[in-house]
């Protein structure tokens, strides 16, 4: 049987418990403006993983207007408090995130950086329990050594868009972004320092455990 991926995505999103009105507003904005948020099923998995490892220090690279941040902030709040670093290089998106995350009651947990994300990570004192990566795909390979340095042993890295709409296995696609995703996948799945699996929810999340 051939899987209908749009139906699968809707089915998986439908399994996620009802979200607060503000989070639903953020989902509606993404839909209306074609903004690439991780969406409910991936967001819920991020929240679940952060709860499972009791994460209290989380660094996000490429935070947009704070949708993925909201899922991590919920986990950190329920884990007893801590910090989630929100990083985006666009001041307007950072302002939007401040509004949404305040409305959700997470202001005290978030540290905002308007900056290039890998540079911000380099400049921020670690170690972190969890690092989430959703920057421009061409930046993925160079981000790995910085993430590896800043994540604690036993910490988790999550990185989005690792299926890239199926372009990763289309050998005719040699665009810079696709090649960068392949390179990153090769790096993380062959490194002796990580245990990594690609989870095919939405556009594919690699979840990696740092040994």
Binding segment toward ligand SAM, per CB under 6 A, in 45-53, 62-70, 177-185, 199-207: 62-70
Candidates 12, 37, 45, 46; binder of ligand SAM (CB under 6 A) is 37
d(CA 27, CA 100): 12
Binding segment toward ligand SAM, per CB under 6 A, in 9-17, 129-137, 168-176, 200-208: 129-137
Candidates 62, 141, 155, 204; binder of ligand SAM (CB under 6 A) is 62
- Taking CA atoms, 187 is separated from 12, 108, 141, 178, 180, in Å, by 29, 36, 8, 14, 10
Closest residue to ligand SAM, judged by C-beta, is 64
- Select 22 or 116, whichever has its Cβ closest to ligand SAM: 116
Q: Is 45 in the site for ligand SAM (CB under 6 A)?
A: no
- State the Rg of the chain over Cα: 16
Instruction: Name beta bridge partners: 1.
Output: none
Candidates 13, 22, 27, 116; binder of ligand SAM (CB under 6 A) is 116
Binding mask 136-155 for ligand SAM (x = CB under 6 A): x--x----------------
User: How many beta carbons lie within 10 A of that of residue 179, not counting itself?
Assistant: 15
CA torsion 184-113-149-158 (nearest 10°) is -40
- Select 36 or 200, whichever has its Cβ closest to ligand SAM: 36
Q: What phi, psi does 86 have (nearest 5°)? A: -100, 120
Q: Is 63 in the site for ligand SAM (CB under 6 A)?
A: yes
Give the CA count within 13 Å in the CB-facing half-sphere of 3.
Answer: 7
Q: Where do contacts with ligand SAM occur on this chain (CB under 6 A)?
A: 36-38, 62-64, 67-68, 87-90, 93, 116-117, 134-136, 139
């Amino acid at each position: 049987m051939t899987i209908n991926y749009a139906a699968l995505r809707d089915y998986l999103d439908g399994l996620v418990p009802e979200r607060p009105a503000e989070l639903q507003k953020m989902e509606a904005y993404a839909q209306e403006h074609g903004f690439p948020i991780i969406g409910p099923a991936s967001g819920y998995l991020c929240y679940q993983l952060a709860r499972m490892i009791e994460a209290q220090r989380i660094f996000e690279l490429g935070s947009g207007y704070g949708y993925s941040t909201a899922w991590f902030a919920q986990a950190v709040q329920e884990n007893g408090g801590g910090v989630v670093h929100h990083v985006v290089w666009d001041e307007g998106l950072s302002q939007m995130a401040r509004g949404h995350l305040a409305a959700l009651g997470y202001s005290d947990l978030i540290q905002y950086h308007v900056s290039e994300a890998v540079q911000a990570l380099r400049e921020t004192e670690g170690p972190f329990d969890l690092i989430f990566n959703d920057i421009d795909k061409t930046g993925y390979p160079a981000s790995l050594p910085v993430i590896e340095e800043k994540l604690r042993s036993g910490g988790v890295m999550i990185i989005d868009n690792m299926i890239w709409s199926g372009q990763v296995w289309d050998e005719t696609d040699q665009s810079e972004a696709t090649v960068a995703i392949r390179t990153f996948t090769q790096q993380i799945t062959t490194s002796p320092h990580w245990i990594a699996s690609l989870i095919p929810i939405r556009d594919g999340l690699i979840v990696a455990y740092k040994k």
